[in-house]
């Protein structure tokens, strides 16, 4: 679903939950503008979530960089042992293997020894760079989301947690839209008389339909309740 389709779907949801005849101060142009703003905000949230999915604990990155450096050191040691092949030295063999990379050939200088020296030198240069990088990683660093937003509640890495930042931020946007239309704080109610004590209410229904409209696959109740808990009409995000 592209951005225009999301805008149209959200506009339809808003007209369903806030019919113009019941909200005379709202126009079709207002609905379209809010739908556009929601879609743009969701694009940003999705981009942030994609970045977060690659966010790892700093100590994990240190370990990965060290492993990569060790692999390169081992590769360099192996290359040093390569000899002649059917009367062709290493440089000639590799040249034949890289015929599609004419501009990237290494300066073999006409001998197998030169080829080995050149390759191992380059591998060890990269190895040294990775080793240096592993020492520069801030092991006390905080997660990407906390660094960008200043959200201290997200300042600890949670191993294995499925990032759902887009659902979280989109639900918060829905809370502000709900307040803008109704002038009431969003709330999620619980039905104690039905099995499972299901959540319900106008705001819950809005988030449920909005999530479905833009393809967010996440717990409506979890993020709707979180949006209610954190809602502040004076500081919309």
**Residue after which a domain boundary falls, among 75, 106, 136:** 136
**What contacts 29, CB < 8 A, 6 or more positions away?**
none
Residues 30 and 63 in one domain: no
Residues 45 and 147 in one domain: yes
**Residue after which a domain boundary falls, among 136, 162, 183:** 136
Residues 48 and 149 in one domain: yes
Instruction: Please list, residue by residue across 210-235, b when 16 or more beta carbons sit within 10 angstroms of its beta carbon and e when fewer do.
Output: bbebbebeeebbebbbbbbeebeeee
* Residue 235 falls inside a structural domain: no
Residues 43 and 153 in one domain: yes
**Residue after which a domain boundary falls, among 136, 157, 187:** 136
pLDDT above 70 for 181:
yes
* Residue 174 falls inside a structural domain: yes
Containing structural domain, residue 30: 3-55+143-230
pLDDT value at residue 70: 92
Q: Encoding tokens for residue 209?
A: 């339909």
Residues 177 and 77 in one domain: no
pLDDT value at residue 133: 87
Residues 149 and 50 in one domain: yes
* Residue 22 falls inside a structural domain: yes
From the list 224, 226, 222, 184, the residue with the least C-alpha distance to 204 is: 224
Residues 184 and 112 in one domain: no
Residues 22 and 68 in one domain: no
DSSP label of 81? T
* Residue 237 falls inside a structural domain: no
* Residue 177 falls inside a structural domain: yes
Mean pLDDT, rounded, for 43-59: 81
pLDDT value at residue 169: 93
pLDDT higher at 43 or 51: 43
Q: Give 119's pLDDT tier (boundaries 50, 70, 90).
A: confident
Q: Encoding tokens for residue 120?
A: 């191992």
Q: Give 50's pLDDT tier (boundaries 50, 70, 90).
A: confident
* Residue 191 falls inside a structural domain: yes
Q: Facing residues of 88 across strands?
A: 85
| CB neighbour class for 79 (10 Å; exposed up to 12, middle 13-18, buried from 19) | middle
pLDDT above 60 for 134:
yes
Residues 102 and 155 in one domain: no
* Average pLDDT value for the chain: 81
Q: How many domains does the chain have?
A: 2
pLDDT above 70 for 209:
yes
């Amino acid at each position: 679903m592209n951005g225009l389709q999301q805008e149209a779907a959200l506009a339809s949801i808003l007209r369903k939950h806030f019919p113009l005849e019941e909200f005379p101060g709202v126009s079709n142009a207002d609905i379209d503008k809010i739908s556009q703003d929601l879609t743009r905000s969701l694009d940003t949230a999705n981009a942030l979530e994609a970045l977060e999915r690659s966010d790892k604990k700093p100590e994990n990155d240190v370990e990965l960089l060290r492993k990569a450096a060790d692999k390169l050191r081992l590769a360099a040691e192996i290359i040093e042992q390569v000899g002649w092949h059917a009367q062709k030295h290493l440089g000639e063999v590799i040249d034949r293997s890289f015929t599609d990379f004419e501009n990237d050939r290494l300066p073999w200088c006409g001998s197998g020894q030169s080829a080995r020296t050149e390759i191992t030198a380059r591998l060890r240069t990269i190895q040294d760079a990775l080793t240096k990088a592993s020492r520069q990683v801030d092991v006390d660093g905080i997660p990407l989301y906390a660094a960008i937003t200043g959200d201290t509640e997200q300042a600890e890495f949670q191993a294995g947690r499925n990032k759902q930042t887009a659902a979280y931020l989109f639900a918060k946007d829905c809370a502000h839209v709900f307040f803008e239309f109704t002038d009431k704080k969003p709330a999620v109610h619980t039905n104690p008389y039905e099995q499972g004590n299901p959540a319900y209410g106008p705001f819950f229904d809005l988030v449920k339909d909005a999530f479905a409209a833009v393809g967010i696959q996440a717990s409506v109740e979890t993020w709707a309740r979180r949006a209610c808990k954190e809602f502040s009409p004076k500081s919309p995000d």
